[in-house]
Amino acid sequence: MTRLRVLLIAEGAAGVQSLRMLATSSHEVVGIVNGEVRTSAAGATVVGMAGRLGYRVFPAAQAREPAFADLVLRERVDLLVNVHGRYILPETVVSAPRIGSFNLHLSPLPRYAGLNAPSWAIYHGEPTHGVALHWMDAGINTGPLAYTAEFPVDEDETGLTLTGKCIRAGLPLLHDLLTDAVRHGVPSRPQPTAPRRYHGREVPHEGRLFWSDSAVRVERFIRACNYSPFPSPWRSPRAYLGGREIAILKASLVGERSDAAAGTVGRRLGNDILVSARDRWVKVQQVQVGSTVLPAAEALRPGERFALPGPAERAPAIR
């Protein structure tokens, strides 16, 4: 079997899993590109694992320079594979590998190009999500598709759990890439003609929680932000009560209609407490006040009411 020379750009949990898979394959890892500054980091990180395996680590800043293409050519790289690297490579670097450069994108394309796609999918109430392994070109997530996979989005999905599904669905696509690159060539087909939706680093309504929305939308936003116990790329939704900023960490739907004004704190349910959205009650389970994480019923009192945004701040309509 032909032994491929692979240069891996890897970040986060997806990068760790991809590096682990490559390390146990028959192919040669030329090096790792990563955004961490220190190459001696330990633990379940890309850099820590690369160090234990004896792989060279190149800083992301170096890969963003056109001259990095010279290193790719000198090292006779067959495949450049990007897994969760959130930086743009020069076209000279992308075109330097012998076979090509590929990006594992944690969403379907072109529906969710850009960043934080699992959170956006939950926020928009998508019934299904997916991953795409595509050829890289000069654009951002615009190259032809090589492999795709889709799966259902559960009703209680969080940003963390959906990201985990994406990683588990994406690893077999990387295996297919390595297999086909050796045997009969990597597929290439144009992305569907469906509308392209691109998201950058923005967060829906700047991270504010709008109790004046429907309960479904409120609860979706909270789940989309939830990456616990890891930091959320969107942070946690913020609401304001009595001059205090309160982050809403966990909540669920109860299906009970509410005639109370939006933002009204209702009755306790053990350690949880109800808060009225526009149409129904939302059961708030966990909040954060300052640096302290609390059961919701310890921080909120029945009869209080969250401040509501003014007309100019109201959330944009989504489906």
Q: What DSSP line would sit under 118-138, residue for residue?
A: HHHHHHTT-SEEEEEEEE--S
CATH number for 71: 3.40.50.170
145 shares its domain with 270: no
Count CB atoms within 10 A of the CB of residue 7. 26
Tokens 């982050």 correspond to what residue?
Answer: 247
Domain count along the chain: 2
pLDDT value at residue 92: 96
Q: Do 62 and 183 sit in the same domain of this protein?
A: yes
Query: Does residue 286 lie in a domain region?
Result: yes
Burial class for 65, CB neighbours closer than 10 Å (0-12, 13-18, 19+) = middle
Residues β-bridged to residue 149? 131
Is pLDDT above 70 for 310? Answer: no
Co-location of 162 and 253 in the same domain: no
141 has pLDDT over 60: yes
**Which range of residues forms the domain containing residue 236?**
206-313
Q: Is residue 293 part of a domain?
A: yes
Q: What is the pLDDT of residues 154-187, one digit of tens each?
A: 999 999 999 999 999 999 999 999 999 999 899 9
159 and 40 in a single domain? The answer is yes
Instruction: Quote the CA–CA distance of 275 and 268 in Å, as a whole number.
Output: 10
Domain shared by 85 and 177, yes or no: yes
Residue that is last in its domain, among 198, 223, 238: 198
Same domain, 35 and 126: yes
Among the listed residues 183, 118, 107, the one whose alpha carbon sits nearest the alpha carbon of residue 149: 107
**Reported pTM:** 0.91
Q: Is residue 39 part of a domain?
A: yes
120 pLDDT above the threshold of 50: yes
214 and 296 both lie in a single domain = yes
**Contacts of residue 119, Cβ cutoff 8 Å, sequence gap at least 6:** 159, 162, 224, 225, 233, 234
Domain's final residue, options 198, 226, 252: 198
In a domain? residue 319 = no
> 167, 198, 229 — which closes off a domain?
198
From 230, 229, 237, select the one nearest 205 (Cα to Cα). 237
pLDDT tens for each residue of 189-243: 999 988 898 999 999 989 999 999 999 999 999 999 999 999 999 999 999 998 8
- 318 located within any domain: no
Task: Say whether both 137 and 215 belong to one domain.
Answer: no
Residue 56 lies inside a defined structural domain of this protein: yes
Do 58 and 124 fall within a single domain? yes
The predicted-structure confidence for 29-69, as pLDDT tens digits, reads as follows 999 999 875 544 445 799 999 999 999 999 999 999 999 99
What stretch of H or E contains 60? helix 60-63
The CATH number linked to 243 is 3.10.25.10
Which 8-state DSSP code applies to residue 305? B
Residue 167 tokens read as 């990683």
246-287 pLDDT per residue, tens:
999 999 999 999 999 999 999 999 999 999 999 999 999 999
In a domain, 41, yes or no: yes
Same domain, 271 and 170: no
The count of residues in the chain is 319
| Amino acid at the residue 78 | D
- Least Cα distance to 113 among 199, 240, 35, 181 occurs for 199
pLDDT at 42: 46
| Whether residue 86 sits in one domain with residue 43 | yes
Same domain, 41 and 74: yes
* CA-based nearest residue to 214, from 314, 307, 281: 281
